[in-house]
Amino acid sequence: MSRKAKIIRKTKETNISAEVNLDGKGKYQIKTKIGFLDHMLEQLSKHSLIDMKVVAKGDTHIDLHHTTEDTGIAIGEAIKKAAGNLKGIKRFSSKIIPMDETLTRVSMDISNRPYLIWKVDLKVEKLGEMDTELFKEWFQAFSQAAGITLHVENIYGDNSHHKIESCFKALARSLREALEIDKRIKNILPSTKGKL
């Protein structure tokens, strides 16, 4: 079963192509024209082992909000489409990832009930050219589009770059585990409801 998908998202504000292979090796081609976002999406691909190709053009002459948010939507939709009927997935995952002085926990349920809990305080207003408030917007858009209950908590840390990067790496490792096919139930939906 091939777990690949491509999403094209066009609005008056953005034009985004997102391709994923859930059973890849973490190969990536990321071009959003937002340097720090590219860096984070490369981390997401590399550590989740999801092959990812993302090309985004947006109204960055206004600000980076629309491109950031819509990139989260497109990647989330692509992952949801690639995951298909969700039969056999492990569904749940929780990962704690360190980065130097920083420790971050991401827990998820691929439940088709999107929800974001975001407990990440950042001391600076910008990382690179990105307003730091945009990271919550990306995670919100991603969780909604992917249908994932997602809890992101920076447990402690000082450096804002480390905090955000550890969030993306913890998301990546959680996705890697939760989307993995459990050989013991590979044709069974992991829910007593019979539907996710």
Helix, strand, coil percentages, rounded to 5, for the chain? 35, 30, 35
The rounded percent of the chain whose pLDDT value lies above 70 is 100
Q: Is residue 192 part of a domain?
A: no
What was the pLDDT predicted at 54? 98
DSSP state of 64: S
Instruction: Answer yes or no: is 195 within a domain.
Output: no
* 107 phi/psi in degrees, rounded to 5: -125, 140
Number of domains in the chain: 1
Q: What percent of the chain has pLDDT over 90?
A: 96
Instruction: Assess if residue 32 is contained within a domain.
Output: yes
pLDDT at 1 over 80: no
Q: Is residue 161 part of a domain?
A: yes
Asked, for residue 196, whether it belongs to a domain, the answer is no
Token pair, residue 33, equals 């024209």
Is 191 inside any structural domain?
Answer: no
Domain presence at residue 162: yes
Residue 43 is assigned to a structural domain of this protein? yes
For residue 13, the model assigns a pLDDT of 96
**From residue 85, how far is each of 89, 98, 143 by CA, in Å?**
9, 33, 17
What CATH number is associated with residue 14? 3.30.230.40
pTM for this one?
Answer: 0.97
- Structural domain of residue 71, as residue ranges? 4-185
